[in-house]
């Protein structure tokens, strides 16, 4: 079994384990019964708010790439983003590869710089996820870390990881010849093939991080990141109303913010579109923090995740079919790029 096949197997195994934990000792028919009574009106609002958040993500990407190509098409940015999400629903993390290849081809840009820009965007996402968890601890009247002790550990690990990555990237960019050259030469003593791949990855990172330039673009990236988080929290808030959870007990935007922050950790776990990990974390938060029943909590997790899955697959497929009319070999390009990584 190849390393790539092994990583895919591990991702699906993780998903199965988390799904088992989430649905253990729960009658799935009860969950389906609750979901069948969901409000169509609120489901539509949820879909609209989610798509708006994703569109703003594409616009933030446009801001990041402004110095590379100021007139880059929003249609292509949004389309490649949604195709990437759709691919991630099937194969974890392969969506980022597809997204970089597609936008690189459609906009005639270097795929290496696009990979680097996507890595930069992911680092920004993790930074704001950590920020949202900090905010959650401030706005929740009870001790959030006491109820969910693993949350503090996750936060520390994330912050340490970000600090390590940022320091590493700073050394690569600021002292390219000294640090980058020495590191690659050290790798070549172990394996020349591995050294060549390392050099290729470094070049991608350098190109990607050079894409975000200018004080204005830094400020806009920060502001749009905040707005995106607010919209994600709003989508979580709307989720309460889809199942009438507001009639069981009072719900608030603060609760939705906390739920959004915790669900973000679930999405970071390498399972297909957070399948299983999302369900487990959402169920845990709704029960332990807000006192909802197990069935309604799982129903919320199942419904909101199912909606995101359908939206990603449908919009991603439509985007690909529309934008692919003038580009015939994109699937082959994606496969080639994956083989090279």
**Tens-place pLDDT, residues 21-43:** 888 888 989 999 999 999 999 99
**Tens-place pLDDT, residues 97-145:** 888 888 888 888 877 778 888 888 888 888 888 888 888 877 776 666 6
Predicted pLDDT of residue 135? 83
**Sign of the alpha-carbon dihedral angle for 59, 273, 277, 32:** positive
Residue 180 vs residues 36, 114, 115, 119: alpha-carbon distances, Å: 56, 20, 18, 18
Q: For the residues 15-23, what does the mean pLDDT come to?
A: 86
Predicted pLDDT of residue 26? 86
Predicted pLDDT of residue 23? 87
How confident is residue 228, by pLDDT bands cut at 50, 70 and 90?
A: very high
Distance CA 197, CA 187 (A): 10
The yes-or-no verdict on residue 330 having pLDDT over 60 is no
Predicted pLDDT of residue 322? 85
How confident is residue 340, by pLDDT bands cut at 50, 70 and 90?
A: low
User: Which two tokens mark 96?
Assistant: 């980022």
**Tens-place pLDDT, residues 286-315:** 998 888 999 999 999 999 999 999 999 999
Mean pLDDT computed over every residue of the chain: 82
Distance CA 83, CA 153 (A): 33
**Dihedral pair phi/psi, residue 314, rounded to 5°:** -65, -55
Among 103-107, 248-252, 327-331, name the one with the lowest average pLDDT: 327-331
The yes-or-no verdict on residue 223 having pLDDT over 90 is yes
Distance CA 208, CA 240 (A): 38
Distance CA 314, CA 318 (A): 6
Top-confidence range, 152-161, 168-177, 230-239: 230-239
**Tens-place pLDDT, residues 56-99:** 999 999 998 888 888 899 999 999 999 999 988 887 777 888 88
Among 148-157, 196-205, 275-284, 332-341, name the one with the lowest average pLDDT: 332-341
- Mapping DSSP to helix (H, G, I), strand (E, B) and coil, where does residue 246 land? helix
How confident is residue 341, by pLDDT bands cut at 50, 70 and 90?
A: low
């Amino acid at each position: 079994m190849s390393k790539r096949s092994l990583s895919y197997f591990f991702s699906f195994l993780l998903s199965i384990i988390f799904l088992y934990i989430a649905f253990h000792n729960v009658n799935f028919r009860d969950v389906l019964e609750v979901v069948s009574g969901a409000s169509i009106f609120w489901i539509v609002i949820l879909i609209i708010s989610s798509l708006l958040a994703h569109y703003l993500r594409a616009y933030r990407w446009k801001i990041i790439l402004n110095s590379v190509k100021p007139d880059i098409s929003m249609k292509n940015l949004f389309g490649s983003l949604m195709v990437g999400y759709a691919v991630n629903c099937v194969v974890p993390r392969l969506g980022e590869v597809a997204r970089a290849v597609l936008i690189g081809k459609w906009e005639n840009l270097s795929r290496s710089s696009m990979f680097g820009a996507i890595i930069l965007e992911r680092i920004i996402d993790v930074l704001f996820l950590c920020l949202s968890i900090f905010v959650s601890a401030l706005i929740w009247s009870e001790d959030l870390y006491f109820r969910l002790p693993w949350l503090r550990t996750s936060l520390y690990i994330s912050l340490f990881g970000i600090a390590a990555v940022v320091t590493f990237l700073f050394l690569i960019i600021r002292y390219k010849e000294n640090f980058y050259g020495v590191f690659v030469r050290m790798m070549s003593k172990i394996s020349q093939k591995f050294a060549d791949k390392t050099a290729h990855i470094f070049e991608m990172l350098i190109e990607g991080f050079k894409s975000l330039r200018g004080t204005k673009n830094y400020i806009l990236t920060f502001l749009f990141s905040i707005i995106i988080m607010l919209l994600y929290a709003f989508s979580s808030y709307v989720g309460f109303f889809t199942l009438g959870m507001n009639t069981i007990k009072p719900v608030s935007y603060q609760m939705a913010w906390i739920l959004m922050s915790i669900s973000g950790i679930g999405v970071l776990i390498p399972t297909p579109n957070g399948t299983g990990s999302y369900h487990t974390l959402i169920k845990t938060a709704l029960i332990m923090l807000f006192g909802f029943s197990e069935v309604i909590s799982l129903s919320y997790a199942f419904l909101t995740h199912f909606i995101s899955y359908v939206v990603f697959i449908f919009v991603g497929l439509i985007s690909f079919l529309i934008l692919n009319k003038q580009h015939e070999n994109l699937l082959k390009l994606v496969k080639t790029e994956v083989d090279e990584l």
